[in-house]
Amino acid sequence: MPVYKEVTDKIAKTKLDIESLYNNCSIENNVIKDIDVEIIAHFGNVVSVNMLCDNIRPLPLYNSTHNVGYIIRVLVWLFGKEQEDGISLKELIGTPLRIVYVNNRAIALGHFMKDRFVLIDDLMRVEE
């Protein structure tokens, strides 16, 4: 059971949920090539989670200063990487995932094998 169950229950979607929200979506298999937390001085030292996949950066550069830890917790849960002793963010590199697109824009991330997705907008707004 995820440590973040009360939140993940609210934002978790299935493939059917996604397709009913966006009837013109497409789903692509991908892999995380890099993931890190960036502090962007140009925007006033805001903190943002940056993820690079094979051919896209699916996470927009949101000002996630207030909730970056919560975003990371949901990503760890989404990709099934929870470990009792914890993990490093870099351990997500190489993780396969599914990306949902609408009009060539990434709108959701999903577990590679399980029927579990999270809309990127919901992910960026997640709070405890």
* Structural domain containing residue 119: 5-124
pLDDT of residue 86: 85
pLDDT of residue 3: 46
**Three-class SS string for the chain?**
CCCCHHHHHHHEECHHHHHHHCCCCEEEEEEEEEEEEEEEHHHCCEEEEEEEECCCCCCCCCCCCCCHHHHHHHHHHHCCCCCCCCCCHHHHCCCEEEEEEECCEEEEEEECCCCCEEEHHHHHCCCC
pTM here? 0.90
**How many domains, the chain?**
1
pLDDT of residue 4: 62
Q: What is the pLDDT along the chain (128 residues), one digit of tens a residue?
A: 344 677 778 899 999 999 999 999 999 999 999 999 999 888 788 999 999 999 899 988 788 889 999 999 999 999 999 888 889 999 999 999 999 999 999 999 999 999 999 999 999 988 76
